[in-house]
Amino acid sequence: MRAMFSLAVLCLPVSRMTAQQLYFPREASHSSPQLPAAMQALAARLLPLLQEEEDKWSSLPTLFMVQMTAGRYDAALRTIAAYRAIYSRTDTCMAGIRFIQYHTYARAKLLQQQHHRQFPQAFRSAFATALQQLTPCNRFDTDSWFTFDLPAVTADFRRELDRWQQRDSIDVNNAITLCRRYNAWRVATAVMPLAAPLIAQENRQHYLINDSILIRTRDGAEVPAIVVRPKHQQQPLPVIFFFTIYTEIKNLSIAKEAADRGYVGVVANSRGKRGSSGEVTPYEHDGRDAWDVTDWISKQSWCNGSIGMYGGSYVGFTQWAAVKQGVHPALKTIVPSAAVVPGFDVPKENNVFMNFVYPWIPYVTNNKYLDNVSYNNQPHWRNLSFNWYHSGAAYRTMDSIDGVPSKIFRRWISHPSYDKYWQDMTCYREDFSRVNIPVLTTTGYYDGAQIGAMYYYRQHMQYRPGAQHYLVIGPWDHLGCQHVATPFVSGYKIDDTANISIHQLIYEWFAHILRGGPRPALLKDYVNYQVTGTNEWKHTASLAQMNNDTLTFYLDTSHLLRPSPSAGKGFLTQEIPLADRQGGFTYNAIQYPTISNSPNMTNGIRYESAPLTEALTINGAFSGQLHLTANKKDLDAGILLYEHLPDGRYFQLSYFIGRASYARSLETRTLLEPGQPAVFPFSNTRIICKKISKGSRLVVILNINQSPFEQVNYGSGKDVSDETIADGNTPLRIKWSGESYVSIPVWK
C-alpha cells in the first residue's frame, strides 16, 4: 500500500501516444546479457514520445525513470531537481530527499563514466555528497528511500517482462511501465547492499536505536517495538507513538523523525509481526495491545509522562482502539488520519463487502513482515474478482476460487452486520464518552476512508459534547490527507491553498499539546475545511455550521430533480437481470478522472435539475430517502452525485453504496416485503465542499449495484455471501416512486 520507493507515484498517468508500437526484441526477455542494451534502446525510442503534462507532480517521476533507463543520467538529475522544486511548494523540508536513491545512483553513474571509477567507489562518493545536502528535518528518511523489498521489486519487473516473451514490439503505455520497473529493479540491486552499511554508520552518529524490543501484554502475547532516542538525550522527553500492522523499513524512519524533532520515537507492530510469536490477526487485539504498549512507554526512564499517537488508515484505527477501554493517563492526544472502522467502512461499506480488502489479508498475514510479492500482483487479484463474478459462485467461495484458504476472510463474512464482533474492535457508542483528551482528525473529500474518519468524529461529538476535537478536511485522497497533498487529485487540479503538508501540521499539533506551543495556525476553529473552487479555507465550530440551507430534490418520474414532488407522484419502473454478465458494471466510488464527459449509467436512472440561477457552495454530506417497491427481499443501491458543468462535462461530487435491508440500522437486518412499498433512507455518504457555478445542473444517477468488485446482492433474503447466480434468475423489478428525494447541504 505504501511502497517505500514510491512506485505508487510512478504509476500515475502521463500523456503519451498510446497507439504507436516500439521495437523490443523478444530475445531480451530470455537473455540477461541482451537485456540492458535492449532496455536502453527501448527507453531511447520512448523518450521523444513522452508529452509534457500539466500535472508535473505525476509526470516528472515517470520521465526521469525513462531517462535513467535510456542512460540519460544528466537529464534525469535535472528532472528530479524540477520535481523537487514543485514538491517544495507544499513541503520545503522533505523536497530535498525525494527520490534520493535514484538521484544518488544517477550521480554515481556519471562519476563512473566521467572519471572511470568502479561503481561502488563512485556510489560511495555520490552518497556522501547526498548526505551533505540533507538537513535534520529530512535526514531521518534515508532508510526508507535506500531500502527495497528486493524480492517484490524483482517479481514486479519479471512479471512485466514476461508479458512480452512472444512479441517483438510493445505499445507506449506498457513500455513506460516496463522502463519504470526495470529501473527500480536495477537500482535496487545495485544500491541496497552499498547503502546499508553507510546508513547504519550515519544512524549510529545521530541516534540511540533499539529495534528488537518485545513488550509483553497483559494476556501474555508479544508486541515488537522500535525505540529511537536522540543520541545525546540528557533528560526524559515526550514520546511520539505509532502502532501499526505494517512491518516496513519506514517504521524506523518514523521513529527517527520523532527523535530529530526532540521526542522519543516508538513504533510498535501488531502481535505476531517481526520478532514476536503468535498469529497475525488484523484488528482484533490491537486496541488492548496499544494500551499495554502505552503503559510500558510511560514507565521508561526516557519518557517524561506525555505520549502522543498519530498515523493514518489502519494506524488511525489503532489510536481509537487504544482508547476504547479508557484513555491511559500518559496519553495526551491522538491524531488519527483517514481512520478506518473495521466492519463499518472496511471490509464492507454500509454492509456491502468489497473485494479490494481480500488481497490485503495475505499482504499483512502471510509472513512476519509484508508479502509485497503477492500483493503487487494486481493482474492476479483483478482476474480473481472477474473469475468469481463470471462464475456466479457464492461470495464466500472467493478463497476457494483463489485456491488459498483464508480463515480471516471467512471469519469476516460470517459477520455481515455491524455486530458485537466488529463493535469490540474499536470505540463504540459510550466508549467515546471516555475520550477526554484533545483529538485532531484529518481526512479528504476523495479519501476512501472518509466515512470511517467522520464516524469517529461524529460519535465522539455525540457521546462527549464539547470534546476538544479538531477536524481538518480538504480535497485530498487517502494518502494526501495523511501525508502531503498532491496538486492533482483524480486528474483535478486542487486550489493552491489546499496544497499543504498534513504531516507538518501533525507535528505542529504535537508541539502545541506536548510542549505547550501555540495552536497550529490552520486550526482557527474546531471544523476547518477548504472549499474547492474558491481557494479559501473556512472555519466553524461544528459540522452543522458548515451550511445555512438545504436543497431538497425529488426524483421525479420525468427524470428531473424537482424542488417538490409532482402531483400524483407516480413511479419509474426498472428491471435488472442480475444474472446477466454480458454488459457493463457499476462503479460506485470516486472515478478517475473526477471530471469526465459522461457518467456511468450501468443499471442506472438519471435525474437532472434545472440550471442553477446563482452560484452556491455544497458543504457537507448529501442524504435522502428512496421510496420503492421491489419484487425481491433485498437490493444494493448506488447513488452518484455530479455537477453537470455549463460546458457539458461532469464533475463527480460524492457517492453512496448501501444495502436496503440495513438501511435503518447496520446492526439489524430488516428484509423488504416483495410487492410492498418500502422506504430506504440513506445518510452515510461522503462530505464534499465545492463551489457550484451558476448555470450548472446537479445530476443524480440512481443504480442497482452490480460489480465484480463488490458482493452481488441477488435479493433472495439469504446471507448475501451465500447467494449464487441462480438466485438472480428472476430479474430484479423495481418501481421507484417520485416521493424519493435527495437533500444536499449548501451555503448560500
Quote the cell numbers at residue 585.
458494471
Place of cell 525525494: 98
Cell readout for 299 is 514507565
Q: For 681, what's the count of Cα atoms within 13 Å in the CB-facing half-sphere? A: 5
How far apart CA 154 and CA 527 sit, in angstroms, is 45
Residues 6+ apart with CB under 8 A from 31: none
CATH code that applies to domain 217-342+425-544? 3.40.50.1820
State which amino acid sits at residue 88. Answer: S
At 261-313, the pLDDT tens digits run 999 999 999 999 999 999 999 999 999 999 999 999 999 999 999 999 999 99
For the chain, give the number of residues. 748
Four-residue CA torsion sign, 404, 408, 409, 413: positive
E-assigned strands of 231-379? 237-244, 264-269, 303-312, 331-337, 348-349, 352-353
Confidence of residue 713 (pLDDT cuts 50, 70, 90): very high
All three cell numbers of 726: 441462480
Q: Other C-beta atoms within 10 Å of 151: how many?
A: 11
Percentage of the residues of the chain whose pLDDT score is greater than 90: 93
**Would you tell me how many other CB atoms lie within 10 Å of the CB of residue 174?**
15
Residues 153-171 have pLDDT tens digits of 999 999 999 998 888 899 9
In this predicted model, what pLDDT tens digit does every residue of 348-407 receive, in sequence order? 999 999 999 999 999 999 999 999 999 999 999 999 999 999 999 999 999 999 999 999
* Local confidence band at 30 (pLDDT 50, 70, 90 cut-offs): confident
Q: What is the pTM of this model?
A: 0.96
Which pLDDT tens digit goes with each residue over 423-432? Answer: 999 999 999 9
CA distance 137 to 97: 10
Contacts 24+ apart (CB under 8 A), 207-213: 207/231, 207/256, 207/259, 208/233, 209/252, 209/255, 209/256, 211/252, 212/275
Share of the chain above pLDDT 70, in %: 97
pLDDT at 15: 41
Instruction: Give the contacts of 140 (CB within 8 A, at least 6 positions apart).
Output: 253, 256, 257, 259, 260
- What pairs with residue 389 in β-bridges? none
Is the pLDDT at 1 greater than 70, yes or no?
A: no
Beta-bridge mates of residue 701 = 606, 640
Domain covering 547-747, topology: Jelly Rolls (2.60.120)
CB distance 458 to 684 below 8 Å: no
Measure the CA–CA gap between 87 and 487, rounded to whole angstroms.
9
Query: What's 419's DSSP letter?
Result: -
C-alpha atoms less than 13 angstroms from C-alpha of 536 in its C-beta half-sphere: 6
**Strands 264-269, 237-244: pairing kind:** parallel
Give how far Cα 207 sits from Cα of 12, 21, 226, 254, 683, Å.
Answer: 36, 52, 12, 13, 49
d(CA 364, CA 409): 13
- Cβ-based neighbours of 674, under 8 Å, separated by 6 or more: 630, 631, 632, 633
Query: Domain locations in the chain?
Result: 7-203, 217-342+425-544, 547-747
Calculate the CA 108 to chain-centre distance.
35
Buried b (16+ CB within 10 A) or exposed e, 594-608: bbeeebbebbbbebb
How far apart CA 665 and CA 718 sit, in angstroms, is 18
67 vs 70, 78, 500, 515, CA distance in Å?
Answer: 5, 10, 30, 46
Q: 722-746: per-residue pLDDT in tens?
A: 999 999 999 999 999 999 999 999 9
d(CA 266, CA 239): 7
The HSE-up count of residue 78 (CA atoms within 13 Å, CB side) is 5
Distance CA 745, CA 558 (A): 24
List the one residue out of 415, 388, 386, 383 whose CA is nearest residue 399.
388
